[in-house]
Structure 1
Amino acid sequence: MSHPRELDGSRLHDWAARAVTELSARRAEINALNVFPVPDADTGSNMAHTMEAALAEVEKLTGSPDAAAVAGALAVGSVRGARGNSGLVLSQVLRAVADSASNGCVDGGSIARSLILAVQLVDRAIAEPVEGTVITVLRAAAVAAESCDAAGGTLHQVVTAAVEAGRTALANTPSQLEVLREAGVVDAGGTGFLVLLETLLAEIEGTAVHETPRVAPAAPAPDLEVTFFYSGDLDLLQTRISPLGDSLVIARADDTSGRVHIHSRDAGQVIETAYATGQVSDLRLEVLPDAPQVDAPRRVVVAVTPPGSVAELYREAGAIVVAPGEDVVSRILSQVRSSRAQELILLPNGLLDRRQLVSVERATHAFEQTFTIVPTGRLVTGIAALSVHDADAPIGVAAYTMTEAATAMRTDIVPTTLNGSVEDAVSGICRDMLATGGEHVILLTGTEVDVEKLSEDLGVEVLAFPADGLGHLVEIGVE
């Protein structure tokens, strides 16, 4: 079955109407789930009212408004009519959709961008976001949508990925929030947000919302080799079918015809797209043998580092690096999800605050992965921890060994403002630190340091690594 590649104003309007109908129908159900932050049983009512206000604003539009106009009206109506905490969250989601639809098109990329932006807006709007609530479900959906879009997914594929990730995250909210666990319920706001996603998927598929499967997906369809001779715009065909499979080869007979070869688990969509794009002949299908299963890495180490030479140093040591910033939590989770690893060790390196650490730890529950934080307070202690990581050891043992290495290292910095030379400052700090013992000095430096002279003066081994973006001249570690 074919699905629209983008949503126009009419379809966005229809989605909003579906969402109002579904939220209204499930109002009592969602109200009954409402036990956090206070059990006032109004989340379902608030979200339904907010969505009704958004739809009412759209229905004030005249003519045939495009997607940008409809999305803008949804945002304005929801912000003005937002009721309760859950309504405010919903309004920020619709505001993000409007921002991403500003060019008049709502496709898979627009949905992915809107969900990522919604995470940022909601995180900013709530003074103290709590994991195990709607923010967790929203973030999981955003990460999945972004990953799918980056892989060339269609609108339908992006929204499907978001729905599936949202369901998993919602099911895991009781493991993140004790009050939900004690009440035996999932988060009410997360449930309401999932209704938005499910009604969007239903609108794209042209089905009733209740027909959306709520069970684990069936085994994937077999991989098929699809070959055919094609006449028409070859570049357009390549653009349209490349997201539908792999091993795509187009052997061109001339500028407008050629034989096409692709492996796909969605052969029907490939064939339908080809016929809709040009002329197809000599169509052949063959079931491919199952590909050998390549196991995902059992464990990944994610390090938060500034971009540049120090990030490259961490990569060479085997870590996945993420730059600090406003959306660092989402980017960490995106890396975790795309790695498909069973275990995660995070090196914060003093670049994450407590709130961000809590958000990452609890949000990883949505992906059902084992998560451990090694307390690295500086970049240099992160390097010490990473240097002793044993990928074959159980994660608890590996994290313990890494923590020992990190906490055994004493650290200091040379600030950007100082009296005298950098070498003199480094030498003086190192002498003070070595007075209580130590055999090695590690320097992360954004400026040149005479390592041989320093090693000779101190009488210990000195290792120096270039590091830009530190926020200070030199970072020193003694062990």
Structure 2
Amino acid sequence: MITGQQWKQMMRSGARALERKKHDVDALNVFPVPDGDTGTNMNFTIQSAVRDADKTSGATVAEVAAAVSMGSLMGARGNSGVILSQLLRGIAKGLEGHKEAGGQQIAQALQMGVDTAYKAVMRPVEGTILTVAREVAKGAQSSAKQGSDPVKVLKDAYGRGQLTLEKTPDMLPTLKQAGVVDAGGQGFLIILSGWIAALEGQEIEEEVIPASQVEPQPVRGITAVEDLEFPYCTEFLVKGRNLQVEKIREDLADRGDSLLVVGTEEVVKIHVHVKNPGKILDYAIQWGSLHEVAIHNMLAQNEAMAHAQKMEDIPEGSRSKAGQEQESGPVEEKEHGIVAVAMGEGIAEVFKSLGVDEVIFGGQTMNPSTENLVEAVRKVAAKNVYILPNNGNIVMAARQVKDIVTDRNVFIIPTKSIPQGISALVNYNPYGKAEENARTMEEGLSLIKSGEVTYAVRDSQFGDLEIKEGDILGLIEDVIQVTGRERLQVAQETLGKMNWKEHDLLTVFYGEDVSEEQAEELRAWIEAEAPHIELELYPGNQPLYYYIFGVE
């Protein structure tokens, strides 16, 4: 039987196994462009799960699994990370009420994980992590029916999953063409191998994640001031029996703001901003015992951070006068607010000028986590908050925010590119009704065509295109259409394939590796080729992508 402590050890071992091989998983990505990196996203997600597991003092396998689920939910990055978090969430559901888990319980939990993950994906595709996880669960069930112990169940599950992984190229033509197996499926099996190693007493040496890779940060200087009517951030766990998550959430709904109540019948995590933390603790203790209580005075923290930032932004000789200025008071809650993900400071400034309240640095290679998005939403003092992911690999993480933030209406506008984000903002009406706003913002996305110019990070074959590392690539709607060795030439050919001359407006963001002179050279060509088209050229300062195009 697997105990709660062993489940912790399994999670640590699985995380270490993936940390060691995350770059191998990244290398399986089909497209040769700088990408969100499947292995890296899954690694960040499971590391977050391990941190929450290590924090819990719960002794049962159900309690540890619940903590793992919460950690993975909040730390989920990219589509692969979100799917992994849903697998772990379902596993936790399958282990609810169990002090220990035998082979049968493990098999049931794996199947529950698969069921939960499939429900989270709108259009499941065969040959992905979902397929591998499904076959893993089938392998576990077959083994459990024969009375196998947990180790044998997981080994049989892994074996069936490995056979399935090897067949993924036959299920997805893009995998076969690239000569690789599915990256997400490989990542999941690596985690599973770590679980087996832990149960067999094998040690997987830990590797430390560099601090610079831990969390992408919001753009400095454009963060909205949070309403501090409720200055005490109060967070803790309640442990007991027959805990009613919905009832607790309902009882606390009007006690403060930024309320989060999630968990199981045996352990519930509560996060809320309140005027008096003692009243919340008095209420919660009626349900069970309190653990890991943390209370922070956000007003004091906010004042210290605001003062430090102000002192950094002014000349040293003028700091004494600035230090005497009074801080602004709480921000009044408005009807609508917007959170957007941006790839560079220039793009962030454009978003800000179009009404975005909170901008998060993110995009390819640095997908923000669900927790990053949750924190950004909570910083916006508005009844209705719209999230613009602006990247297809962030949309799923954004959708999870709606399950976590319940004290305001959250709308996910599924923007998959920066130009789509701009289009959504243009169609945004600050005085309109929330549902109509969301619908109008989303309807405009189909009118935008997006393109990018970047570079190849590896040799590859894509369709009829033979790609060499370092080649300049032109993408249209995330599909490689042009290759070459010169940026300007690839940019011109990409625009040509976008039929840009047939449109009225062309928006261009040039990246941090493009000089102003190079951008002006592109401008001159555009204006000479089609003087009738309105051109908007901005220094986006985005990494990895030399140019981002939007035509409409």
Which TM-score bucket, shorter chain as reference? 0.3 to 0.5
TM-score norm. by structure 1 comes to: 0.41
TM-score (norm 2): 0.36
* Rg comparison, structure with higher value: 1
Higher RCO (C-alpha 8 Å, min separation 6): 2
